[in-house]
Chain A
Amino acid sequence: MNGVHDMGGQHGLGPIAPEAGEPVFHAPWEARVLALTLTVGAWGRWTLDASRHQRELIPGPDYLRMSYYEKWLTGLVELMVKAGLATRAEISSGNPAAGTVRASPPLTAARVAQVLAAGGPASRDVAAPRRFAIGETVRARNINPVGHTRLPRYARGRRGVVERDHGVHVFPDTNAHGLGEQPRRLYGVRFSARSLWGEAAAGRDSVHLDLWDDYLERP
């Protein structure tokens, strides 16, 4: 979707303002939101791609106003409601609905270290064609899907060169929407800064994106 989250190339969003000695979390609630997102995620009711997309669905003005973990909290609540893990009435009251049978959480403290260390690789050991060769010039397709995509607007329609074959990875555009992993080939593609931003850009500079087969075409 062409949401405000797709920020690459925009001007006017203010100074960067790095904070010296920044703490990992600025308040205890931020840490709890991170931890709740990971532990509720362990129920496996949604994918990482779906959770990213849920945050993209936050209306633009709110997305720009909210702090990072406020966006995470908002996304988590929506995902839980959609998945039926909790109702809005429960979330606003903080109390389980009458007659709720207590569940047993899949991610226990004893398993945290092992689960974080294992991670969740996105590569899949399946055959998928390699339509583009290393060194081949490609063009990012001009697509404007209303759902989730990882092809940023600033690269659409631009020419780049395939630099790397990352293998076969889960496809976010389907996986975010419950349409399956549909793994396909992922490439590292180099775009010259001039191809993206015009002749005023520095001649040697480049931007590198990881793009799935479907995002690319022969120019």
Chain B
Amino acid sequence: MSDHDHPHHRDHGQEPPSDLALRVKALESLLVDKGLVDPAALDAIVETYEHRVGPRNGAKVVARAWTDPAYRARLLEDATAAIAELGFGGRQGEHMIAVENTPDVHNLVVCTLCSCYPWPVLGLPPVWYKSSSYRSRAVIDPRGVLAEFDLVLDEKVEIRVWDSTAEVRYLVLPERPAGTEGLDEAALVALVSRDAMIGVARVGLEA
């Protein structure tokens, strides 16, 4: 699916500045002039979420849980503390819960009311996660939603959908794929996709 098919992507930055780009520029200039914001703080926040805090953090949590049974137990018992062991936490991840996929149970995370998402482990949410279509259907038709991600589950698999209605944030612990017994933690990290940690994908042998 290209950007042009997507109704939510109307500003790409390669075209002449849009009305929105100009409005935001004027707002930033005003707020800097009034001393309400520090422009370097804006840069630091953007740098954090563009380059430092993203799904690789969550992948490290998952790979550790796959390779260290004691860590997995701690993650399922108190995810906030277990995730903090790896140095991740903070804004939009203050109260974490990890939910584990098994051959019999598949977990899927959504926020039907807005866009709640575990930033410290997954970064900022993708457009589809925030879209009306995903938010509306994940709770009533999870199998149809998963099929749109080319994930077809056996009818016998129980689906648990987690609607993030409070400040609790959910991380799916995917199943470790067969054939990865010989891989070390770093190699496993590379296999774990963001989508698998939301619950719209499985982890395969290729990320």
Contacts and interface: CB of A to CB of B under 8 A. Distances in A.
B11 A27 contact: yes
Contacts of B50: 24-25, 31
Secondary structure of the B side of the interface?
Answer: mixed
Contacts of A210: 163-166, 168
Contacts of A146: none
B92 interface: yes
Contact of A116 (B91, B114, B165): B91
Contacts of A7: 112-113, 132, 135-136
B180 interface: no
B27 A36 contact: yes
Contacts of A22: 126-127
A202 B143 contact: yes
Interface string A18-52: 11101011111111111110111001000000001
A16 B134 contact: yes
B74 interface: no
Nearest to A122: B167
Interface in B106-156: 110, 112-115, 120, 123-124, 126-128, 130-140, 142-143, 145, 148-149, 155
B190 interface: no
A207 B35 CA distance: 46
Interface centre among B10, B20, B142 (most CB of A within 10 A): B20
B40 interface: yes
Contacts of A112: 41, 44-45, 48
B161 A207 contact: yes
A24 B143 contact: no
Contacts of A35: 41-43, 45-46
17 contacts: A10-B137, A13-B133, A15-B133, A15-B148, A32-B25, A34-B49, A52-B114, A86-B36, A90-B34, A94-B30, A96-B33, A103-B34, A105-B38, A113-B48, A117-B90, A152-B113, A196-B139
